[in-house]
Structure 1
Amino acid sequence: MTDTPEAPRQEAQDYKSTVFLPATDFPMKAGLAQKEPTIAAQWAADGLYGKLRERRAGRERFILHDGPPYANGDIHMGHAMNKVLKDIIVRSQTLLGKDAPYVPGWDCHGLPIEWKIEEEYRKKKLNKDEVPPQEFRAQCRAYADKWVGVQKEQFQRLGILGDWDDPYLTMKYEAEAAIVGELLKFAESGQLYRGAKPVMWSPVEKTALAEAEVEYEDVTSTQIDVAFEITEAPNAPELVGAYAVIWTTTPWTIPTNQGIAYGEGIEYSLLPLDDRRYLVNTTNVGDFLHRLAAGDHQELIRLSSQTLDPSGQFNCVFGKGKRLAGATARHPMHHLGGFFAKPRPFLAAPHVTTDAGTGLVHMAPDHGEEDFLACKPLGIDPVFAVQGDGMYRADWAWLGGQGSVINTKFNGPDGPICTDLRGAGALLSAAPFQHSYPHSWRSKARIIYRCTPQWFIPMDKPTSISVPAEPVEAPSFSSEGNAALRQAQGERMLSNAPTLRETALDAIAHTRWVPERSTNRIRSMVEGRPDWVISRQRAWGVPIALYVHRQSGEYLNNPAVNARIVEAFKAGGADAWFGADHQALLGPDYALADYEVVNDILDVWFDSGSTHSFVVEARYGEGVRADLYLEGSDQHRGWFQSSLLESCGTRGRAPYEAVLTHGFALDQSGRKMSKSLGNVVDPLKIMSESGADILRMWVASTDYFDDVKVGKEVLAGASDAYRKLRNTFRYLLGALADFREDEKVAVSDMPELERYMLHRLAELDAELKGVVDRAAGSESWLEFGRYTRALNDFANSDLSAFFFDIRKDCLYCDVNPATGAQTDKRRAYRTVLDTLFHALVRYAAPIIPFTAEEVWKSRFPGADSVHLLEWPEVDAGWKNETLGDKWARIRNTRALATERIEPLRREKVVGSSLEAEVYAPVELGDVDWSELFISATVHKGEWKVEKTTHHKCGRCWRHLPEVTQDGDLCDRCETVLAQ
């Protein structure tokens, strides 16, 4: 400023006391990490959550039912993202004036907690199986309780407002009683059976797993080609003595082989190689020979002259697979006798393809669902050779007592399986094979399919549960395709005795899914899922509290007995079952000696799938269901689905009106976060360094329906957006210092610029309400990325860069501080600022609740919390499209003027825009263009900018014609000071 031809600084200082300078104690530097814990503590001390329940009592209710996180470790970024989204939604619904309770909860049972306790035992070289079950369960309960306490504090540090004094825990006695009560509803309606069929099994964890507990990773397995000598072939006698070749990537299943499957329409070839003939699928002959050439049997490639026709092509076609009907083969280890000496039948199976292998599939009903289903009609039953730990049982003739079957060396080319097959002359090839393979997401170990007796809920059995005659419509379906699906599903489902699958598909069609594309994901999963395996062979959880008759194999289905079981659980929790007087529970009509007591544990997904019963219905009334479930996209096969199936099986409908799916938090490069990669972004560290509101600003700004990236650069962007919004509030607080209600001006008496800003506020209000209010029917419902961007853009572009910039001269100079006299224009400006303040602090409250509280208390120190307020009163009548179009054109013209002034500023021709004389193609007299451009005089003409020759007012610093020399006052300032 020293090299600009302005009046000396001393002259400007002479009038400093006559100018209004915004003043506020609200600091520019946020210091969130230090302030936020104090604010949160004040909320707790004031009982803010309880006050909200009192204030909103009797209002329309909005229930977001919390999907329970698992109680085993500090929260991670996925937790933070999920909880912040929930809190934003609950706070915004509360802002709308609704009664929006939030009851946080935790999933406390199951394998992850057991696994941690077992790890502690292993460190002490103790055997978990030697510990009394009650003692082990008590340790699991204590472990879960510890982490519930830790996570509770961490979630509250995020600013999550909820019923932290009374959360729901699946291990509370009343919850365990409710869970077993829901199980018994399935039993009483006949939707429960025990059967032996292959299920996903973890040999490491020694239990069955649900689909939601499985993840897939690329692995290297051993692929083998094994020859089975054909002993009978009534439709093709020439096959006797030939060898059927099977290909598999699970060598460990060969010891339980019981047959060979073929495709009736598949064409097979009979290859003469050396002194043997091999039956394989014609399409894959080349691949088969390639595997042989790369393995131990290169000599087999010396084809006889009959193998090739004159063109060099294979000419060994045997015919279609249907000729294999009635054929049998013998197991390569038939010399062991017993099980292995039995003939292996050929059987037609639709799942046999020519995509890979040999077109012949070895059948092990113990270890494949398709194998099980194909063998069952022939009376071929599982043999249960593989134990829960992955070892072959000790009495098994081949490899008895050996394993584990998931060990890569055990299955490898030099392992015992391949070695024995090679010794028997049956191993044709053994080589590495890369493919995707299922793993337990907890232990990260490979899993297997294993046939064991388990309890199931059938998907396709007609039930007695009735679908509501008028399915509940989800509001605001926007897609015609979705509506058509809804109608078609509704017509299909309203039939007699629908199955659980049908009821669930109907419920999906009558639920609003956000984003809408997620409908396809959940529907396809329910359409193709198998029966629900609800039993686990573990210790920590809710038992499957049933009695099975020892002779008939049927479980006891007696309402009186079931009622006593539920009451016992209410009194003593799930532990009551393991130490129960079962005869007392059975009552006088049944003898305990006639019944087996089931001690299997319920799938934890059944636990969490039942939460709607003991959280939503128990707290708000029978038949009440949640307005919204909100979780990550993986819950389409987890909590969303288990809750859907549980509710459909017991109530004939979904437990939710709408479901929101968000993506995952990835590192800044788009990779999954992993400690081994060193790319974990810790929300606890972010809060301790930058504050929770920065993290919340990031969450709210993302397009969270897809996976989102987070890292230093991304968080820096969130910090910058936060800083700008904070500065907007700081300006408002300073500009409204000493504002009085009697200053207010009616809208009709305001200048056009103020009325235009109210128009923009009304537009913003409608856009934000479209995100928040489901009743508005907006397709942008729950898109808080749009909400946050609109709020930030308004604060930055409409206010800071436009309205505040133009009116700062009016704010500073249109008042006499000594007398308080001010112009009507300034009164109108401050009236709009007051309106903006009350609106913006409410709009921001769900996103950055700590800062909103700080802003509110800075202006109204003795007031109640900002979070007790309701949606701002913005008059829709303020919208004026004609005015909006006019001022949109004016803003474009202003932007052009700024572009032309800026080069003169950079070249120091002018010190500020106030020294610029502007010629512009505008109509003079319509608006005060010099005020809009923040320039000296504006003239009508072609675009041109030059330095003004007018002198500078010593008070407002504007360069005006009436100022005769620098430092004198302009007419406006003289008038103000004379008031």
Structure 2
Amino acid sequence: MSEYRQSLNLPKTAFPMRGNLAVQEPQILAFWKKQNLYQQIQEARRNRPLFLLHDGPPFANGDVHMGTALNKVLKDFVIRSKSMAGYRAPFRPGWDCHGLPIEFKVARQFTRLSAVEIRKKSEESARKFIQIQREQFVRLGVLGDWKNPYLTLDPSYEADVVRCFARFVQEGLVYRSRKPVLWSTGAQTALAEAEIEYREKISPAIYVKFPIPIEEALRKALPTGQPISLVIWTTTPWTLPSNLAIAVHNEFEYEVVSTGTEYLIIASQLVSTFQEKSRVAIERGIRRCFGNQLVGIQAQHPFLDRNSVVYAAGFVTLKVGVGCVHVAPGHGEDDYSLGLQHGLGLLSPVDDYGRYTADCGLPSLVGEYVLDADEKIIAILEGKRALVGRSDYTHSYPHCWRSKTPLIFRAVEQFFIRIEELRHRAVKEVERVNWLPHWGKNRLRGTLVSRQDWCISRQRVWGVPLPVFYTGAGDPILDPDLINRVAEIFSREGSDSWFRKSDAEWTNLLGLCRGTTRRNDTLDVWIESGVSHEAVLRHTRGLTFPADLYLEATDQHRGWFQSSLMTSIALNHTAPYNTVLTHGFVVGRDGLRKISKSEQENYKTPTRVQHFVEKFGADIVRLWISSVHFTDDIPFSEEIFTRLTDSYRRIRNTLRILLANLNGFRGATCQPVLLTLVDKWLLARLRQVLDSCLEAYSKLEFYRVYSAINRFCTIDLSSLYVDITKDRLYCDALYSERRCATQWVMYNVFDALCRLMAPILVFTTEEAWGYFHPGESVHLQCFPQGTYDAEDTEVMHKFSQLLEIRSKVSVAVETARKSNVIGTPLQARVTIRTTNPQTIAYFRERPEEMEEVLILSDLAVLQDSIDSISIVPTSYRKCARCWRHRKEVGGMPSPNLCRRCYDVLQQMEKES
């Protein structure tokens, strides 16, 4: 063999087996930058239909972690695949720059700063991480208009936010009210629902007596032989100083029970639970009544000198407690609504830091942090003999996403948007929008149905100011024209001007009455990002409203998806998106804890994407993202990435094998006449894969693309076609018709695979494409078309029969080899006896093709009444060049060669 080695057409390519991605990928990025690839693509698709994915802005703090990487790479899959499908698919990335996390960090790092100084430091921090994240997104291969991102801190964007606020005011949607909101005592601000984390908390669950005066008991025909009390259950003892009422349910049955010394009133269905939790021995059967008979009772507060009136309320349930609910209108949504209905007033004796004020009625607790006061309240109840029992209650409790402190409901003067005015249209639009996966529709609709009015004011300084002035009497001036004039100033000077200028300067600038003031409240950041459809889609050349797609994580059903929808309904009476795709969270291997900036320190495994890019390469990260069902939560670990490199190597090796076998190929534009069945089969499989992948791309099901390509490379190409055609590629004449046909097939496969994988393996396909098309980019190409047809079906059927025979022959050959009948399959004389006339006909028409597919030297196919395979050593000698055992070896002028190899060498000798 060695003496003939130089005559073989062995594979040859400079495309390396090892990707060395950490080195290779930055070089490709430099090539893209030099070529201005993004603009080239936009220019190439200038007159094509538009597909618009609107980027939900990530927050400008911290490095990019795996969760954010998942989001941005998925968006890149969409943009690149739509572009290669023939769409104009621009991508303008953005950043959410304002908000509590940045300000909170600055305030902790620097003390005693003015509002202007805090904003300056916050902007510096935001811009720093915008640049860091931009570089990390680019390193991941995410293509977009990185030179012109939208930033919520840009003066033009801030001005658009204020203009949108003016339109909300004009529509009568904005009002000011003092009502309970979720309040962060750690950050001293109201929070939006999307800024809340739920964590497990153990609270004291207490049963408290509210005594009923004897005249009230007589009036309601209640037993009076012993003292009688209504019992309430609460897990927030600190709110009892704010109690103004008790709620019961009209239709629930309540029971008077006796402890032997007093009567207690409890919902009948919960008496047993009460007895178990409180450990109080009771006697039942004293008296029963319905809740409506208790309404109107003037019970006594357990430790303050005031009454607590009983009202009926639909929010009372029998899930926990005793069916009698403690009502503090200053500390709960349902409580507030009930208090508003009955004119109870609003008592919320808690300051911004969560400390009791003098209005709590307990001088000893003034200045005490309310969540530390539970035990002191319980001690007061014990001293008043009002505590019936207590136990620990473990429950999910809201916490501030930044300070990590438990939240409280607290009545504060805030600005709100009337959700009820928008709800019906919003729900209607939710039905119209296409949701991927489908359950996203129900999730968002559920949040809309139950949502209260939107608290849009924040007691912070790093954000777009709430552009409201106040009269000398403290009344807000909600004037759309005035607000729009502020927007014009912001567009020129930025929103820092709100804090730099004094009240007098603003008054003079806008021609307001003397004594007019302003405050430092800012707008909810969800307003800022929520109106990006207005500030970006309507105000960026080449973009349109609404977007074709919004793509974010599942938490955005109560975040950006919802804020965008509600603001768009208010401004445009329609949803800002036609399709919404929701992906899950990246979680640790335990599947429990999501990856986020705030959780990174809790992981032993690194969560920053840069670690994985530097260790494995960006294409491995992208391949991982393409391989998962991203609508579910996605576990990750270094072990998973290590395993995934095997899949990458198989795909890369496939491209390398194709390139190596295409060495010297020169017939890309003309289809050869001679295509064997295996050639036709591979082309049919290619068209099948193309159809499947193009459909998957269109449905944004990228895992199907990964699965189809991985299988095609591993099984169809490497295990079958390359193995089967190896002999003809190596041993046929360089430009023989059969060999050129094989190269033509491989060229088409290589071309299609590079294009098909380009949206996912952006660097590897660019590298491989450059070996065949130097200086060109695969990302300027379009997808090939599949068009799998009836003729392909027939080819697939014929070849599947041949593969079935191949499988049986392989088993028989392996058995013979292990039994030392033969050494290698090429040494075997294989006789197939069959009842199948199609197999007989195929062998008679194309005996060499069938030998090639089965990778045999000596094959006979005979018709018989039974199916069988027999194997004996062949009597033919081995060709020294191709190692096939052929009948003619020994009878040629060169006795060590078969006819094919002799003819090839003769031709080579003539050509030389």
Structure 2: distance between partners of 1:210 and 1:229: 38
1:417 deviates by 0.9
Counterpart of 2:538 in structure 1 is 617
Which of 893, 897, 901 aligns to 1:969? It is: 897
1:237 deviates by 4.2
Counterpart of 2:80 in structure 1 is 91
**Residue 291 of structure 2 corresponds to residue 325 of structure 1:** no
1:604 deviates by 1.0
Structure 2: distance between partners of 1:602 and 1:239: 55
Counterpart of 1:604 in structure 2 is 525
Counterpart of 2:369 in structure 1 is 404
Q: What secondary structure does 1:316 align onto?
A: strand
Q: Deviations over 1:863-920 (max 9, x none)?
A: 2222112222556569622222222222222222223323444566544322233233
Change (3 A) 1:537 1:701: same
1:261 deviates by 0.9
Change (3 A) 1:908 1:394: farther
Q: What secondary structure does 2:665 align onto?
A: coil
Q: Deviations over 1:621-677 (max 9, x none)?
A: 685221111111111111111111111111111111111111111223423255435
Structure 2: distance between partners of 1:590 and 1:153: 46
Q: What secondary structure does 2:204 align onto?
A: strand
Query: What letter matches 2:212 in structure 1?
Result: I
Q: Deviations over 1:430-476 (max 9, x none)?
A: 33221221112222221111111111111212xxxxxxxxxxxxxxx
Which of 115, 130, 147 aligns to 2:129? It is: 147
1:581 deviates by 6.4
Query: What letter matches 1:512 in structure 2?
Result: N
Which of 729, 733, 750 aligns to 1:811? It is: 729
1:184-199, aligned counterparts within 5 Å?
A: 184-199=166-181
Which of 724, 731, 756 aligns to 1:843? It is: 756
Counterpart of 2:571 in structure 1 is 650
Which of 870, 874, 879 aligns to 2:782? It is: 870
Normalising by the residue count of structure 1, what TM-score does the alignment of the two structures yield? Answer: 0.86
Q: Say if 1:19 and 1:812, in contact at 8 Å, map to a contact too.
A: yes
Q: Say if 1:94 and 1:870, in contact at 8 Å, map to a contact too.
A: yes
Query: What letter matches 2:824 in structure 1?
Result: S
Query: What letter matches 1:785 in structure 2?
Result: Y
1:144 deviates by 0.9
Which of 363, 367, 370 aligns to 2:334? It is: 370
Q: Deviations over 1:920-976 (max 9, x none)?
A: 333222442211011122222512333323211111111112213897111111222
Structure 2: distance between partners of 1:346 and 1:877: 76
Which of 291, 306, 314 aligns to 1:350? It is: 314
1:565-964, aligned counterparts within 5 Å?
A: 565-580=486-501, 591-593=512-514, 595-620=516-541, 624-672=545-593, 675-741=601-667, 745-746=670-671, 749-773=674-698, 781-816=699-734, 822-861=735-774, 863-872=775-784, 880-905=792-817, 909-920=821-832, 921=834, 922-923=839-840, 924-927=843-846, 928-940=849-861, 942-964=868-890
Structure 2: distance between partners of 1:813 and 1:588: 88
Counterpart of 2:865 in structure 1 is none
Structure 1: distance between partners of 2:672 and 2:301: 93
Structure 2: distance between partners of 1:590 and 1:574: 19
1:851 deviates by 0.6
Q: What secondary structure does 2:733 align onto?
A: coil
Counterpart of 1:134 in structure 2 is 116
Gapped regions of structure 1 (runs ≥ 5) = 1-11, 294-299, 308-313, 335-340, 462-499, 774-780, 817-821
Query: What letter matches 2:405 in structure 1?
Result: A
Change (3 A) 1:878 1:761: farther
Equivalences, count: 881
Q: Say if 1:230 and 1:239, in contact at 8 Å, map to a contact too.
A: no
Query: What letter matches 1:812 in structure 2?
Result: Y
Q: What secondary structure does 2:141 align onto?
A: coil
Gapped regions of structure 2 (runs ≥ 5) = 863-867, 908-912
Counterpart of 2:229 in structure 1 is 243
Q: Say if 2:527 and 2:567, in contact at 8 Å, map to a contact too.
A: yes
Structure 2: distance between partners of 1:910 and 1:444: 73
Counterpart of 1:62 in structure 2 is 51
Change (3 A) 1:203 1:724: same
**Residue 357 of structure 2 corresponds to residue 436 of structure 1:** no
Structure 1: distance between partners of 2:303 and 2:98: 44
Q: Deviations over 1:236-291 (max 9, x none)?
A: 14367511111100101101000111111222222222432211122222222233
Q: Say if 2:605 and 2:638, in contact at 8 Å, map to a contact too.
A: no
Counterpart of 1:476 in structure 2 is none
Structure 2: distance between partners of 1:833 and 1:903: 33
Counterpart of 2:910 in structure 1 is none
1:218-233, aligned counterparts within 5 Å?
A: 218-231=200-213, 232-233=216-217
1:385 deviates by 0.6
Structure 1: distance between partners of 2:505 and 2:394: 56
Query: What letter matches 2:609 in structure 1?
Result: P
Query: What letter matches 1:853 in structure 2?
Result: E
Query: What letter matches 1:227 in structure 2?
Result: K
Q: What secondary structure does 2:739 align onto?
A: helix
1:50 deviates by 1.9
Q: Say if 2:248 and 2:295, in contact at 8 Å, map to a contact too.
A: no
Structure 1: distance between partners of 2:58 and 2:209: 50
Counterpart of 1:541 in structure 2 is 463
Structure 1: distance between partners of 2:507 and 2:60: 35
Query: What letter matches 1:839 in structure 2?
Result: A
Q: What secondary structure does 2:442 align onto?
A: helix
Query: What letter matches 2:46 in structure 1?
Result: A
Q: Say if 1:954 and 1:967, in contact at 8 Å, map to a contact too.
A: no
1:250-261, aligned counterparts within 5 Å?
A: 250-261=236-247
Change (3 A) 1:137 1:885: same
1:444-523, aligned counterparts within 5 Å?
A: 444-461=404-421, 500-523=422-445
Change (3 A) 1:510 1:584: farther
Q: Say if 1:234 and 1:327, in contact at 8 Å, map to a contact too.
A: no
1:211 deviates by 1.2
Query: What letter matches 1:825 in structure 2?
Result: R
Q: Deviations over 1:137-166 (max 9, x none)?
A: 111111111111111111111111111111
1:757 deviates by 2.1
Q: Say if 2:257 and 2:264, in contact at 8 Å, map to a contact too.
A: yes
Structure 2: distance between partners of 1:572 and 1:239: 73
Say which is worse superposed, 50-59 or 231-240, in terms of deviation.
Answer: 231-240
Counterpart of 1:488 in structure 2 is none
Q: What secondary structure does 2:212 align onto?
A: strand
1:27 deviates by 0.8
Structure 1: distance between partners of 2:681 and 2:546: 44
Query: What letter matches 2:448 in structure 1?
Result: V
Q: What secondary structure does 2:420 align onto?
A: coil
Q: Deviations over 1:317-365 (max 9, x none)?
A: 331111112210111223xxxxxx2321111111112222111111100
Which of 427, 436, 450 aligns to 1:528? It is: 450
Structure 1: distance between partners of 2:187 and 2:474: 32
Structure 2: distance between partners of 1:902 and 1:685: 46
**Residue 254 of structure 2 corresponds to residue 289 of structure 1:** no
Q: Say if 1:269 and 1:317, in contact at 8 Å, map to a contact too.
A: yes
Which of 17, 34, 47 aligns to 2:6? It is: 17
Question: Aligned residues: percent identity?
Answer: 37
1:588 deviates by 9.5
Structure 1: distance between partners of 2:873 and 2:199: 70
1:764 deviates by 1.5
Q: What secondary structure does 1:599 align onto?
A: coil
1:506 deviates by 1.6
